[in-house]
Structure 1
């Protein structure tokens, strides 16, 4: 805390942490589980965040549930890579049902009305779904690297590999989400106290918050991001080399441009939703005791939940086959967009016959 600034923070042993004047002694009068947190922000801020959460629910839930239903209904969508995309949609649904919905209601009430146990449950489920989502994106990127760049020669991505990748994401997510329930950090209200997540900003050696946040940052953000950037970086270099060899081919040149745009969108979407949250948590961990505005702390949290919308838009709706099947299901067998469904989903696609549909998640 800087000199001359009063300590505006008070920490409770187990349930929450809030910035309050040091002279306040009636904790129940400002508990995030009992009363509106208007001492932290105006009602307009709470209502704005509630509206944003409602937006993620209205658009995220239908997109993700349609992905699961379409895959179950249309046999041609049941390719090995699409298993991972369905896994991603299931993770998004977990975040929407247990995270976004709870946050929407709490922000509308301006405090966490559901109680301490619901807070722990929301924090755990949202973290679990978020980690599965993050690692699913990494698995998709790594699969594209293996199939397109062929570092292992004639490697073929099979059903067993897809299932292993899905199981891997849930195991890794459990490794990340369970520790706060067992005493390594904890789940408490964060930001404006209307949504719950890991304790990344209190100064309390009892919970070993610093080590847990560093673990999350490195293992659950830095590592997946490295895989994504490396995989897509190598993919772009491979496509560029193919395009250079086929300079006279307009189709190849167009494919390179389209895939480059898609990769940029994928990485940008990942960073937009997760970098603010990870960076803020890391900053708070490495600057213990420094003052920060909890209103600003809520923004990264709600942004991370927005990944439930951008994930299906990028990975599903930008895929012609998925989009066509969705349109047919919605419009009773007709596709008003007139998209061509004949999109390659094969994991054995050769780079020499590169096209945008072959390198995009299929």
Structure 2
């Protein structure tokens, strides 16, 4: 272990094996209060993330009006979030409460793989949502209509990408080890030699699984905003159109910021760790990007689902036995044949 890992520990420590994250509490890396705080935060993501994402799946199964092509992609996002919660957040919650990865090496590989898989599916689902909005509103392909079979193919595509991204560490290209405070597992950012080819894997993940989806999202929503602005300019006398443009602008800003808050810290830290071999860093700070990425299981549904009037309406009906106390119109949704000249905020937001 001392020959392969660069993990900051007290200088007076000479027996790293005695501090194995699979055997003993990692109190040399942080106080019990730090571990309990992380555990409490992971519990928060479980308590709020699991029912929110499960409601999304149940509502879509129960209400036929929610079974539109785009909502399939949102359900795909919810399923990916549930995978992260069940295998990543719960494992991290228990491990932080024990102050070390008490479940063993096999559980570490399972958590690392499933958390990476769910995260990659989530990232690419957001990119598919953005690209679908671009196709529907901006109509770059003319009469092309985004249909149910396209949505299904989009969902399958995200899982293929997720498996391609998450499998290499199980096959010898990098590996899954405890990260940060050693209570959750992820790809090996720390190894100082080239035995596992970690640098190339990190660059692959950064470019293919972060940079490319982000480019798709920014490009798609950027073109969408330009289209909306052009429509609003043509209909300057329409208060409804002007209001729609402002609301959609805010929605797009929230979507992109949510993506960056979720994944930029994790991607940036991994890239920094690979390009700054041998430099010391605080492992408490290294744990923050990991828990931020897992917290996406909570704020992704808020951004992409609860801000969707149709989904919100049916969720309220499901929770309150058929009554919607918010009084939202449950028929407001995006249609695959929506024309740019009749854009509204509900049509541009995922619906």
**TM-score class, shorter:** over 0.9
RMSD (Å), alpha carbons = 1.2
Return the match for 1:127 from 95, 101, 116: 116
Q: Residue 196 of structure 1: SS of its match in structure 2?
A: strand
Matched, 1:38 2:34: no
Q: Is the 8 A contact 1:17 1:189 kept in 2?
A: no
Structure 1: unaligned runs, 5 residues or longer: 1-9
TM-score (norm 1): 0.95
Inter-partner Cα distance in structure 1 for 2:11 and 2:197: 24
C-alpha separation between the residues in 1 aligned to 2:113 and 2:3? 20
Q: Secondary structure at the match of 2:337?
A: coil
Of 209, 213, 219 in structure 2, the residue corresponding to residue 230 of structure 1 is 219
5+ residue gaps, structure 2: none
For residues 165-244 of structure 1, what are the structure 2 equivalents within 5 Å?
A: 165-244=154-233
Measured after TM superposition, the shift of residue 250 of structure 1 is 0.1
Deviation at 1:287, TM superposition (A): 1.1
How many residues of Structure 1 are paired with residues of Structure 2 in the alignment? 351
Match of 2:316 in 1: 327
**SS of the counterpart of 1:189?**
strand
Name the structure 2 match of 1:301. 290
Distance (whole Å) between structure 2 residues aligned to residue 50 and residue 164 of structure 1 = 37
The corresponding residue for 1:261 is 250
> Of residues 67, 87, 91 in structure 1, which corresponds to 2:80?
91
- Distance, in Å, in 2 between the alignment partners of 1:182 and 1:22 is 34
Deviation at 1:79, TM superposition (A): 0.2
Q: Secondary structure at the match of 2:195?
A: helix
Secondary structure of the residue aligned to 1:114 is coil
Correspondence for 2:236: 247
Q: Is 277-286 or 126-135 further displaced after alignment?
A: 277-286
Q: Deviations over 1:71-123 (max 9, x none)?
A: 00000000001000000000000000000010011001100000001001100
Tell me, in whole angstroms, the C-alpha distance in 1 between the residues paired with 2:193 and 2:40: 34
Task: Tell me the secondary structure at the aligned position of residue 342 of structure 1.
Answer: coil
* TM-score of the two chains, using structure 2 as the length reference: 0.98
The offset of 1:20, in angstroms, is 3.1
Quote how far apart the aligned CAs of 1:290 are: 1.2
Cα shift readout 1:210-258 (whole Å, capped 9, x = no counterpart): 0000000000000000000000000000000000010000000000000
CA drift at 1:330: 0.6
Counterpart residue number, 2:101: 112
Q: Is the 8 A contact 1:191 1:294 kept in 2?
A: yes
In 1: Cα distance, 2:149 partner to 2:86 partner: 29
- Residue of 151, 161, 169 corresponding to 2:150: 161
User: How far apart in 2 are the matches of 1:77 and 1:193?
Assistant: 41
